[in-house]
C-alpha cells in the first residue's frame, strides 16, 4: 500500500516526532507504519464486501457516501482507502478533506434515520480506552459503531480500573488491546498520548481528547455544526470564550477555522500564546477582548466553554477567580444577531444559564448530536475507506 513508500513513511515518521536520519528509531517506526498498512490491507476484502452489503440497508441503491463521488480529488474516490491512518490532531485535515468528510457525515445522517440501519462495519470491533471521564464522546463513538453494524469493547475509567493502575505503560496496553479490536478510540490525561499510541499500534487510533492537548473529533463536529447552522465557513466571526488556556476543544477548533478564508476569532479568555502564534502564521485575524457583550454583538458564533476545575490542581483560588467571569445569559442573547448561534462542547456548569436553552440560537444540543454523524463518518472512512 502507499503508506509503505519511502516518502510517505518519512512523513509519518516526522508526524511521530522521529527524525528520518535516526536509523534505529526509523527502523522501528517504519516497521510500525508498515504493520499498520498491512493490517489494514488484510481487511480490505472484508471491507469491500461489507460496503457492498451495506448499500442494501440504506435508503435507495448505493446511497452510502454517494455524494463523495462528485469530488475531483482522486483521494476521495468511492471505494478508495482513506489517506489518514489515524486521527491525532486537527492540523492533519486540509479544507478538501474536511469538505469530503462532511459529505460522508450527511450520508450518515440518512443512515441514522433509517430504521433498518447499516451493516457496513459488521465484523469490526472498536475498543474505547478512556482514562478520563466522558459521556458524550464515549457514548457517541459507541453509538456510531453500533449504528454501522460493528461491535464495541469499552472501559470508561481505564486510569483506575485497568492495568494502568498496576503500572502498565500505555504502549503495552495498546499492544494488548489491538489484538482484540480493529480500531482504538483513546482519551488520555496526558497531552501527546494518542501520538504515542498511534506510533505503537498496527490498527487505526482516534484521539478522543488528550489532556490539555487536542480533541480533533470535537473540532470536526464543531466545524460541521457551524456550517449547518450558519450556512458558511468563510468570512465568519467566532468568539471563543472561557478557559482557553486548558481548553483542548477550542484549540482544535481554532486550528480548523484557520483553514477557511476571512475568519476572525475573538478571544474572551486567559492568555493562549501558542494558539495565537499559530493563527497569526496562518493569516487568521484575531483579537482579544474582556467585553463579552460587545464581542457577542459582532459574531456569528459564540463558542462558550467551562472553566475546567480538574486542570487547576490544588490552585482552587485561581479556579474560583476564573469561574463565573463570562456567562452567556439573556443579556448576551439580546445583543446577538438573529442568525448567530451559541455553541458549547459540554458539559456545562453555570457558564450558560438554562433559560438560554429555549432560544433557537442555542445550538449546543444539536452540536452534540452532530458528533454522532462525524464519528460514524470517521469510523467508516478509517475501516472501510471512501
Is 344 one of the annotated active-site residues of the chain? no
Sheet holding 237-241, edge to edge: 285-288, 264-268, 237-241, 301-304, 341-343
Is 353 one of the annotated active-site residues of the chain? no
Catalytic residue among 128, 137, 155, 217: 137
In degrees, rounded to 5, the angle at the alpha carbon of residue 267 between the alpha carbons of residues 263 and 271 is 130
Quick check: helix, strand or coil at residue 183? strand
Is 309 one of the annotated active-site residues of the chain? no
User: Cell 501558542 identifies what position?
Assistant: 274
Dihedral of the alpha carbons of 27, 192, 187, 94, in degrees to the nearest 10: -90
Is 137 one of the annotated active-site residues of the chain? yes
| Nearest CA among 198, 257, 197, 191 for reference residue 222 | 257
Is 166 one of the annotated active-site residues of the chain? yes
Catalytic residue among 215, 248, 259, 375: 215
The DSSP letter of residue 266 is E
The DSSP letter of residue 349 is S
CA distance 313 to 264: 33
Catalytic residue among 43, 83, 106, 136: 136
Catalytic residue among 138, 187, 323, 380: 187
CA distance 326 to 292: 7
- Residues identified as active-site: 136-137, 166, 187, 215
Amino acid at each position: 500500500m502507499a503508506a509503505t513508500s519511502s516518502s510517505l513513511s518519512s512523513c509519518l515518521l516526522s508526524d511521530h516526532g522521529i527524525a528520518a536520519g535516526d536509523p534505529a528509531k526509523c527502523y522501528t517506526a517504519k516497521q510500525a507504519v508498515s504493520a499498520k498498512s498491512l493490517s489494514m490491507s488484510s481487511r480490505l476484502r472484508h471491507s469491500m464486501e461489507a460496503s457492498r452489503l451495506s448499500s442494501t440497508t440504506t435508503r435507495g441503491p448505493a446511497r452510502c457516501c454517494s455524494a463523495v463521488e462528485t469530488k475531483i480529488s482522486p483521494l476521495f474516490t468511492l471505494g478508495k482507502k482513506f489517506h489518514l491512518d489515524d486521527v491525532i490532531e486537527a492540523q492533519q485535515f486540509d479544507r478538501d478533506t474536511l469538505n469530503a468528510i462532511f459529505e460522508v457525515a450527511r450520508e450518515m445522517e440518512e443512515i441514522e434515520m433509517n430504521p433498518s440501519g447499516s451493516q457496513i462495519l459488521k465484523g469490526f470491533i472498536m475498543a474505547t480506552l478512556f482514562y478520563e471521564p466522558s459521556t458524550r464522546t464515549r457514548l457517541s463513538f459507541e453509538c456510531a459503531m453500533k449504528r454501522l453494524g460493528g461491535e464495541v469493547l469499552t472501559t470508561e475509567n481505564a486510569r483506575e480500573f485497568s492495568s494502568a493502575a498496576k503500572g502498565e505503560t500505555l504502549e503495552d496496553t495498546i499492544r494488548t488491546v489491538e489484538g482484540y479490536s480493529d480500531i482504538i478510540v483513546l482519551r488520555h490525561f496526558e497531552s501527546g498520548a494518542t501520538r504515542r499510541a498511534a506510533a505503537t499500534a498496527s490498527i487505526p487510533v482516534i484521539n478522543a481528547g488528550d489532556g490539555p492537548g487536542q480533541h480533533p473529533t470535537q473540532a470536526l463536529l464543531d466545524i460541521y455544526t457551524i456550517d449547518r447552522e450558519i450556512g458558511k465557513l468563510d468570512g465568519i466571526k467566532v468568539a471563543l470564550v472561557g478557559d482557553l488556556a486548558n481548553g483542548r476543544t477550542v484549540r482544535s477548533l481554532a486550528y480548523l477555522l484557520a483553514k477557511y478564508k476571512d475568519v476572525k476569532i475573538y478571544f474572551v479568555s486567559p492568555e493562549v500564546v501558542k494558539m495565537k502564534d499559530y493563527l497569526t502564521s496562518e493569516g487568521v485575524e484575531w483579537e482579544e477582548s474582556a467585553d463579552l457583550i460587545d464581542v457577542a454583538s459582532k459574531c456569528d458564533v459564540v463558542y462558550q466553554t467551562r472553566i475546567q476545575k480538574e486542570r487547576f490542581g490544588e490552585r482552587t483560588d485561581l479556579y474560583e477567580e476564573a469561574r463565573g467571569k463570562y456567562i452567556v445569559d439573556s443579556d448576551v442573547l439580546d445583543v446577538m444577531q438573529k442568525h448567530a448561534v451559541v455553541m458549547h462542547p459540554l458539559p456545562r456548569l453555570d457558564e450558560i444559564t438554562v433559560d438560554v436553552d429555549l432560544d433557537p440560537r442555542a445550538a449546543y444540543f444539536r452540536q452534540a448530536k452532530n458528533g454522532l454523524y462525524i464519528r460514524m463518518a470517521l469510523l467508516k472512512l478509517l475501516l472501510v475507506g471512501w
